[in-house]
A and B are shown apart, each in its own frame.
Chain A
Amino acid sequence: MIQDRGNIKWASLMLPEHLELLREYKQERTEQPRELTEWELEELQQTIDQAFNQQLDIKLEVWKDYKITQWTGIIKSMNTNELILETLLNTKSIPIQSIQSAQLDTDYYD
């Protein structure tokens, strides 16, 4: 049986000052998306439902690769995991999990 000691064997003699910088850097790069509160999730769902049912333009803030990107388009279809957003230029699938906020584009001009 292989008794691999796993990653312990790769722990090397690193200077504490270097480790500290690396830790900071990794932290910075793996910033987690904001945890949404219950009422925010509820509002998110309502907005998305409305946009889908009435086929309205919607602006989504999506967390991906350590940063938030905005997408505007029409929701073509959706299930519990993801929605398909048709933007001006292409069609994207967006995981529901990674949506940080949603806003109807029409609300914008109120």
Chain B
Amino acid sequence: MNYESMPNRPIMCIDMKCFYASIVAMLHGLDVLKTPVAVVANFNQPGSVVLAASPLMKEKFSIKTGSRRYEIPKHPDIRLFEPKMSFFIQMSMTITKLISNYVPVDAIHVYSVDESFVDLTGTEKLWGSPEEAAKEIQKAILDQFNIPSAVGMGPNMLIAKLALDLEAKKTGFAKWTYEDIPKKLWPVRPLSKMWGIGKRMEANLNAIGIQTVGGLANTDLKELEKRFGVMGNQLYYHAWGIDLSKLGEPLITNGALSFGKGQMLMRDYHTRKEISVVLLEMCEDVMKRTRDAGYVGRTISMGLSYSRNAMTKGFHRSKTIEVPTSETLVMYRTCIELLDEHFAGEPARQLSVRISNLEREHSIQLDLFDDRKPQRQIIGPTMDAIRNRFGATSILRAVSFTKAGTAINRDRLVGGHLA
């Protein structure tokens, strides 16, 4: 592989170590490195997941992210907290602002609440070599917020991320170059340890005899493309550490615009009737956002995953309707059609809905045989206006007051967790 013409910028990927735990620790004046701290989604449910655990929590009590509330032993040293999502987001913003003291805003790409890419090009005069700049940023975050971090560096976003995931998360800092790819990336197995390869893709690759990233890199490109299309092409080049994406390019383009929502249900939902209640609430929320942004859409997709003890896997299907819409009930009806076509009658645990294929709402297509359309067109925005003014639960559909409804409880949540 000829790396000569490939991008070669000083990119770093910085990850806040046990972000949520570090922040609650800071908030309560505890040292996250000396106290076993865990953030648990909800105290009242024993099956609730651990969202973050401090290093001591991991070492002494082997509780890590994804463990359950009931697995945590009773011990006087252990400090448990519930999440404060809006505060976590605020802290993430504060850290982003701190980083922007070192580089222009456009050189920061926030990847998640606790992870960001930073292009350190041109900072040499101010902060020394990119490594020094990176360490300076890590130090500033530790000094100001007592949040430890890990940094991976590389000539492009992909390698920075791989250096972070595969090495720096253990050592705190790692810098890879293209030359490191064969010796550091190729031995990686199972394949899903590599960014961009999920469990399903791993199974597909194993099925054709590929076990390691090196195996992937030495597979015939044509063969991969034939099997996996564009993804095959991407997999191949990723295995060689090649990534042409430009940090700083605006992320959200209109072409891929869509509105959607997913939620994990708090218990198994068994019947079509119960599921449809939640679907209606979700459609209402998604369509409100669509209307607020001034769009109408034609493609409606719906996903449903069954509870872990179900026999079948879930489904994800979509339907494209004739006339673009922003009406909640049109979306809801389409979702119900999809549900009726694909629902296997097993207990459901996770739902998602999405509207895509959007276009600007220029005018309403009137229908000679549908004389109630103008009225229906007004009801949505009217309800939106009431919600915008008096809060999301100020006006609800009656189904939300049934046992299956989730809107009232979820109003207090951000990202599915306590605000």
B253-275 contacts to A, CB under 8 A, are: 256
Pick the contact of B109: A8, A10, A21 (CB < 8 A): A10
CB <8 Å contact, B233 and A21: no
Q: Given A2-B237, A3-B230, A22-B93, A15–B242 Cβ distance below 8 Å? A: no
Pick the contact of B196: A2, A9, A13 (CB < 8 A): A9
Question: Closest A-chain residue to B248, C-beta based?
Answer: A7
CB <8 Å contact, B234 and A4: yes
B249 within 8 A of A: yes
On chain B, the number of residues with a Cβ less than 8 Å from chain A's Cβ atoms is: 35
Q: How far is the CA of A4 from the CA of B246 in the complex (A)?
A: 11
CB distance from B30 to the nearest CB of A (A): 25
CB <8 Å contact, B110 and A10: no
CB <8 Å contact, B237 and A21: no
CB distance from A3 to the nearest CB of B (A): 4
A8-53 contacts to B, CB under 8 A, are: 8-18, 21-22, 25-26, 29-30
On chain A, the number of residues with a Cβ less than 8 Å from chain B's Cβ atoms is: 24
B383-419 contacts to A, CB under 8 A, are: 414-415
A-B contacts besides A3-B230, A5-B234, A21-B89, 15 pairs, CB < 8 Å: A1-B233, A5-B245, A7-B245, A7-B246, A7-B249, A8-B256, A9-B234, A10-B251, A11-B252, A15-B415, A17-B89, A17-B414, A18-B92, A22-B96, A25-B93
| Chain B contact residues, CB within 8 Å of chain A | 85-86, 89-90, 92-93, 96-97, 100, 105-106, 109-113, 117, 157, 196, 230, 233-234, 237, 242-246, 249, 251-252, 256, 289, 414-415
The 7 closest A-B pairs by CB, nearest first: A4-B244, A15-B415, A3-B233, A29-B105, A18-B89, A7-B245, A7-B249
| Chain A contact residues, CB within 8 Å of chain B | 1-18, 21-22, 25-26, 29-30
A to B CB contacts below 8 Å, 24 in the list:
A1-B233, A2-B242, A2-B244, A4-B245, A6-B245, A7-B245, A7-B249, A7-B251, A9-B234, A10-B117, A11-B252, A14-B113, A15-B85, A15-B89, A15-B414, A15-B415, A17-B414, A21-B89, A21-B90, A21-B93, A22-B93, A22-B96, A29-B100, A30-B106
